[in-house]
Structure 1
């Protein structure tokens, strides 16, 4: 994907869609100060270039019975490409892992894992994470409460 130049109108479109992806083309156009056709063209272009990757419903994890968030710091035995790839491929298959970041510093990966209770996290650890070859250590931290969660990037607009 080539980097697309984002102008002020694109930023307003992105900000509006991050706030409410259910806006009709007419509502969005009105919000950003365009007519409907050019607004729709810009949205299609942002989608085609991968600036807008998709649209999702933001679900309350407590309301669906997944109140526990665990942050797991993972250190691998070695930081070789094959081991990094094997780890990332495994993590990509696990629905409990909501976020996974390759890190600098003492640990190699930081995972956010969402489960229904402590027993479910223990099963996840025993059945999945600890069985993965190359994992040297796992350090888990449990979130007590969520202060802020946003899916919107600070794009401006």
Structure 2
């Protein structure tokens, strides 16, 4: 496990502001955190170097991109052979439809968030990809009807 760094309340404020708007200028960030611009810049760099700030990104509206179908898919594996599992994970990582994937406890071995254009596209994803994975025993689809809460960052 990597070393954790001490996070001050000011650091928390910096991270929170950057999560809300990663394009905020250093001058605005410094003003909103009560720091000088040079001290703020140094602290942001320290948070980046420590890995607290892993990367910067953009939140997109998937529906405006034509991605109107979303599902949480529970996947059960036939066996947990390390080579088969590694192959399965590499295959998932290469698929643009799979936005997130978690190895989980319980009945399912993995839970994935899958996003695509429509149900026909999702059906092709199942038939042409997921069900052709030798490690997969079964998959259960939970169609997302609407998004109730979606965080773009952590509350710290």
Unaligned runs of 5+ in 1: none
- Aligned structure 1 segments of 4 or more residues deviating by more than 3 angstroms: none
Q: How many equivalent pairs are there?
A: 155
| Aligned counterparts of 1:73 and 1:2: Cα–Cα separation in 2 | 33
User: RMSD value over aligned CA atoms?
Assistant: 1.1
- Measured against aligned partners, the alpha-carbon deviations of 1:73-92 in whole angstroms (never above 9, x if no partner) come to 00001123323222211111
What TM-score results when the alignment is normalised by the length of structure 1? 0.94
| Aligned counterparts of 1:78 and 1:7: Cα–Cα separation in 2 | 45
| Aligned counterparts of 2:81 and 2:101: Cα–Cα separation in 1 | 18
What TM-score results when the alignment is normalised by the length of structure 2? 0.95
Does residue 1:79 correspond to 2:80, yes or no? yes
Q: Which has the higher contact order (CA 8 A, sep 6+)?
A: 1
1:75 is paired with a residue whose SS is: strand
| Aligned counterparts of 1:151 and 1:141: Cα–Cα separation in 2 | 22
Unaligned runs of 5+ in 2: none
2:75 is paired with a residue whose SS is: strand
